Amino acid sequence: MHWSKTVSMVEAHAEGEVGRVVTNGVLDVPGETMVDKLHYMNSDGDALRRFLVFEPRGYAQMSTVLLVPPTLPQAQAGMLVLQGDKAHAMSGSNAICTATVLLETGIVEMQEPQTTVILDTPAGPVSALAQCSAGKCVNVAIEMPPCYVDTLDAKIDVPGFGQVTISIAFGGIFYALVDPAELGLSIEPESARMLVEAGSEIQRAANHQLQISHPEHRALDGLSYVMFISETADGTLKGATIMPPGRVDRSPCGTGNSARLALMHARGEVRPGDTFHALSIIDSHFDVKLLRTTEVYGRPAVIPSIRGRGWIHGMHQIGLDPTDPYPTGYRVADCWGDAFDLLNS
């Protein structure tokens, strides 16, 4: 065996959403700030993302976290979230996976009963407070960056569905928040394919019809995901985030529920200190809390907390044989859905 590139990862998931963490084989990527590094990964560094994410070394239903040296002195690690479409600025479930991996493998020293890990992300620094016992992260609470509403109750025309009402909110990345009942859908495992098809069409339409721009960083522009949101009779939050190239987030979604809290606050439905139980499409759960309000870029904003559990379930090493005809992988629509249309839209 002869490899020209070797990468080691720790396999983990947070409430069902796979987030494998690169721990060896990539020293750093260019950029003075994490936003610079995000821009690099979505331009000159895209071959590295595809090597890590695409088949045969990766698969559609997962994320890969690239650990890099932090650019802020208070942080222990920098974090870039690699998905099937591009690198993203932030992910709550992946932050839980990252904190769990850093502490349970000893990369960052674990202190019991709790350890705080500061993660440097393109959306800003986030604090991960891990409750620790007998060498295990029992749970991890992520204090998210400031989240705000960008557009409230916009009407867009969606092919195959007609006019749909959406709200755009920033939860570390931009989300379109949609009531699935408007489309005659519900958040259930057997509805996943229909939710994916509808969410993919909504994302395309929203990015074409709305101007979705970050006030400071162009690298964060554009709608990342669509999140379908509903509530159970007892007030439990239910959500399904639709992620390019065509899949449902298995976790309740940290950045999505952060965007949702910003929307709820804008509608007067939540106040600081309120806590909610949030369920995913597979009924895994996060505890979602509005910590406090603030202002960012001249807009009212909220600081949410997302608490969930992460589990390490394997160690993984991949490499590149110089004769391999697929050095940056491939994707096929049977697993990757409408990857080509959505990623090129």
Q: Which pLDDT band holds residue 246 (cuts at 50, 70, 90)?
A: confident
Q: Which pLDDT band holds residue 316 (cuts at 50, 70, 90)?
A: very high
Q: How open is the CA angle 242-68-60, to the nearest 5 degrees?
A: 25
pLDDT digits (tens, 9 = 90+) for 23-80: 999 999 999 999 999 999 999 999 999 999 999 999 999 999 999 999 999 999 999 9
Domains of the chain: 5-143+311-332 (3.10.310.10), 148-307 (3.10.310.10)
pLDDT digits (tens, 9 = 90+) for 159-198: 999 999 999 999 999 999 999 999 999 999 999 999 999 9
Q: Which two tokens stand for residue 249?
A: 């987030």
Euclidean distance between CA atoms 164 and 317, whole angstroms: 44
Q: Which pLDDT band holds residue 210 (cuts at 50, 70, 90)?
A: very high
Q: Which residues are catalytic?
A: 91, 253
CA distances (Å), origin 70, targets 31, 118, 133, 220, 249: 11, 9, 27, 19, 27
Q: Which pLDDT band holds residue 342 (cuts at 50, 70, 90)?
A: very low
* Burial per residue of 75-85, b for 16 or more beta-carbon CB atoms within 10 angstroms, e otherwise: bbbbbbbbbbb
